[in-house]
């Protein structure tokens, strides 16, 4: 296939699209509970360090491969490898990325379905006057009902695949444009309210005063995986977006903006959620249900609480929607690159992801007792292994490809900076990011 001529409408559109991919479940759902499970501030510090040392340089590597190749991830990798006289087998890295996003999208759609459920429940005023225990019990009842969960999973995946089938929609640009400011506004409102509660002080201490006593090599693995996940790096998904990047744009500037927005959302969400946790005397290590139990309580305290809560879940839903569209894109692009029509490719991807998603749905009911590995349920495994092992592994290979294998003049042109900027990027990726991923994976897993 020849290089694509399609481009994002403007530099701003590209930044918004990547931000849309980055900001999602990772910031508002995963960040608080994983931080809660890993002891708070020390984890946060590690995660931010990984964003800077690994996330950003590898994100640039990933996008520049797509931009230099201007094809689907598999084809870009194959094409650039051939240009450099290296093995065409590098294209299989694109397939590995597709497998990673396949696994991620399968639970992503299920958890986003919970947002639909909560949105509807809050519009109906179902949370009015409930305490922490009642909200938690309601959530448990929902999880144990496979039919309701399958329904919202189906609905969400359908929403995603229709947009993907229609092509990388320019409509997204407008959506992203509106979404980010609104999301920030509500998060600020929530954090502002949190500042008036008793739990605010303890929440800040918990989030920002690190205690390194509890940090094990495995905590490093969790923090690294989360850095990749939240930035959407390591699965060739951003590579697919890089293919449509405008000709003249500096990649470091673009990803810098994305990272600031992304970490900002997580911090605000963390402050709001942990303030509720400490005000209510809840356990920070509550797990994946954390935000679903805390947010309804937080909003209930505000004037017009039900209204804010509904709006908030609606915004979250839109944020996960833009991320899941990005998750689906590389799979559809790869199939399309092999000659399948876009609509068919989207249908095939949608159906397979839907089936895989049932595993997550059922692991709260029929399969609740099924612990195939490490005494974890299917849901725990699918939310952990692809994020914490496949993404870093994919990111590692992408980094090796971009900084060692592909023609370096093409890499330089695609980074869109001068000579110095390129050298700096190359040195960081070659001598910091690549060894660091290897070190953390080996130390944590062996």
Closer by beta carbon to ligand PHE, 26 or else 392: 26
Residue 18 interacting with ligand PHE (CB under 6 A): no
Give least dist CB 32 to ligand PHE, A. Answer: 12
Smaller CB distance to ligand PHE: residue 24 or 40? 24
Nearest to 267 by CA among 121, 12, 118, 48: 48
Q: Are 83 and 407 in contact (CB under 8 A)?
A: yes
Stretches 52-60, 67-75, 227-235, 403-411: which one binds ligand PHE (CB under 6 A)?
Answer: 227-235
Q: Does 322 bind ligand PHE (CB under 6 A)?
A: no
Chain position carrying tokens 């690994």: 54
User: Of 143-151, 206-214, 320-328, 336-344, which segment contacts ligand PHE by CB under 6 A?
Assistant: 320-328
94 near ligand PHE (CB under 6 A):
no
Q: Is 21 in the site for ligand PHE (CB under 6 A)?
A: yes
Please tell me the total number of residues recorded for the chain in this structure: 446
Say whether residue 22 binds ligand PHE (CB under 6 A): yes
**Which of 24, 78, 225, 444 forms a contact with ligand PHE (CB under 6 A)?**
24
Residues 257-316 that bind ligand PHE (CB under 6 A): none
**Considering only residues 327-346, where is the footprint of ligand PHE by CB under 6 A?**
327
Task: Identify the residue among 229, 308, 321, 379 touching ligand PHE (CB under 6 A).
Answer: 229
The one among 35, 230, 310, 433 contacting ligand PHE by CB under 6 A: 230
Q: How far is the CB of 392 from ligand PHE (least distance, A)?
A: 12
By CB under 6 A, tell whether 60 contacts ligand PHE: no
CB 262, min distance to ligand PHE, A: 8
One of 16, 237, 282, 346 touching ligand PHE (CB under 6 A): 237
CB of 346 to ligand PHE, least distance (A): 17
Cβ neighbour number for residue 201 with a 10 Å cutoff: 12
Q: Does 232 bind ligand PHE (CB under 6 A)?
A: yes
Q: Is 104 an interacting residue with respect to ligand PHE (CB under 6 A)? A: yes
Of 242, 262, 260, the closest CA to residue 251 belongs to: 242
Residue 107 CB, shortest distance to ligand PHE, in Å, is: 11
Binding piece for ligand PHE, criterion CB under 6 A, among 16-24, 180-188, 252-260, 277-285? 16-24
Among the listed ranges 5-13, 18-26, 198-206, 280-288, the one in contact with ligand PHE (CB under 6 A) is 18-26
- Return the residue of 8, 20, 26, 90 that touches ligand PHE, per CB under 6 A: 26
Residue 27 touches ligand PHE, criterion: CB under 6 A: yes
**Secondary structure of the chain in the HEC alphabet?**
CCCCCCCCCCHHHHHHHHHHHHCCHHHHHHHHHHHHHCCCHHHHHHHHHHHHHHHHHHHHHHHHHHHHHCCCHHHHHHHHHHHCCCCHHHHHHHHHHHHHHHHHHHHHHHHHHHHHHHHHHHHCCCCCCCCHHHHHHHHHHHHCCHHHHHHHHHHHHHHHHHHHHCCCCCHHHHHHHHHHHHHHHHHHHHHHHHCCCCCHHHHHHHHHCCCHHHCCHHHHHHHHHHHHHHHCCCCCHHHHHHCCCCCCCCHHHHHHHHHHHHHHHHHHHHHHHHHHHHHCCCCCCCCCCHHHHHHHHHHHCCCCHHHHHHHHHHHHHHHHHHHHHHHHHHHHHHHHHCCCCHHHHHHHHHHHHHHHHHHHHHCCCCCCCCCCECCECHHHHHHHHHHHHHHHHHHHHHHHHHHHHCCHHHHHHHHCCCHHHHHHHHHHHHHHHHHHHHHHHHHHHC
Site stretch for ligand PHE (CB under 6 A), options 4-12, 25-33, 175-183, 302-310: 25-33
Q: How far is the CB of 28 from ligand PHE (least distance, A)?
A: 8
The count of residues interacting with ligand PHE (CB under 6 A) is 16
199 binds ligand PHE (CB under 6 A): no
CA distance 229 to 238: 12
* Minimum distance, C-beta of residue 369 to ligand PHE, in the bound complex (Å): 29
Q: Does 398 sit near ligand PHE (CB under 6 A)? A: no
Determine, following the binding rule CB under 6 A, whether residue 323 of this chain makes contact with ligand PHE: yes
**Spatial CB neighbours of 100, under 8 Å, sequence gap ≥ 6:** 234, 235, 386, 390, 391, 394
Q: Which residues bind ligand PHE (CB under 6 A)?
A: 21-22, 24-27, 101, 104, 229-230, 232, 235, 237, 323, 326-327
């Amino acid at each position: 296939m020849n290089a694509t001529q399609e481009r994002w409408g403007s530099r701003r559109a590209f930044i918004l699209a990547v931000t849309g991919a980055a900001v999602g479940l990772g910031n508002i759902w995963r960040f608080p509970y994983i931080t809660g499970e890993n002891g708070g501030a020390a984890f946060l510090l590690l995660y931010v360090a990984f964003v800077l040392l690994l996330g950003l340089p590898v994100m640039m590597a990933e996008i520049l491969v797509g931009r230099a190749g201007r094809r689907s991830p598999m084809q870009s990798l194959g094409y650039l490898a051939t240009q450099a006289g290296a093995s065409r087998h590098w294209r299989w890295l694109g397939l590995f990325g597709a497998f990673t996003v396949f696994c991620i999208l399968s639970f992503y759609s299920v958890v986003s379905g919970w947002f639909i459920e909560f949105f509807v429940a809050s519009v109906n005023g179902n949370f009015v006057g409930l305490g922490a225990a009642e909200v938690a019990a309601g959530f448990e009842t929902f999880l144990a009902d496979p039919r309701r969960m399958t329904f919202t999973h189906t609905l969400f995946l359908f929403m995603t695949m229709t947009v993907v089938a229609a092509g990388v929609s320019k409509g997204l640009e407008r959506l992203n444009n509106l979404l980010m400011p609104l999301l920030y506004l509500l998060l600020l409102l929530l954090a502002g309210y949190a500042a008036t509660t008793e739990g605010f002080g303890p929440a800040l201490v918990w989030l920002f005063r690190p205690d390194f006593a509890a940090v094990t090599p495995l905590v490093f693995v969790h923090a690294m995986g989360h850095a990749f996940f939240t930035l959407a790096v390591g699965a060739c998904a951003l590579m697919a977006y890089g293919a449509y990047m405008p000709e003249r744009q500096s990649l470091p500037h673009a990803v810098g903006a994305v990272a600031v927005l992304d970490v900002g959302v997580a911090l605000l969400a963390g402050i709001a959620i942990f303030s509720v946790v400490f005000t209510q005397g809840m356990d920070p290590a509550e797990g994946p249900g954390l935000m679903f139990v805390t947010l309804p309580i937080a909003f209930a305290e505000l004037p017009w609480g039900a209204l804010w809560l509904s709006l908030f879940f609606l915004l979250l839903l839109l944020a996960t929607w833009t991320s899941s569209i990005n998750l689906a894109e590389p799979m559809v692009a790869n199939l399309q690159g092999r000659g399948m029509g876009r609509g068919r490719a989207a249908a095939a991807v949608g159906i397979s992801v839907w089936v895989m998603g049932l595993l997550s749905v059922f692991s709260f009911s029929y399969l609740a007792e099924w612990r195939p590995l490490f005494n974890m349920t299917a849901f725990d495994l699918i939310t952990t292994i692809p994020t914490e092992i496949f993404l870093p592994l994919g990111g590692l290979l992408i980094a090796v490809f971009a900084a060692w294998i592909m023609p370096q003049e093409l890499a330089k042109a695609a980074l869109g900076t001068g000579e110095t900027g390129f050298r700096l990027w190359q040195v960081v990726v070659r001598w910091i990011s690549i060894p660091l991923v290897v070190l953390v994976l080996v130390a944590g897993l062996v």
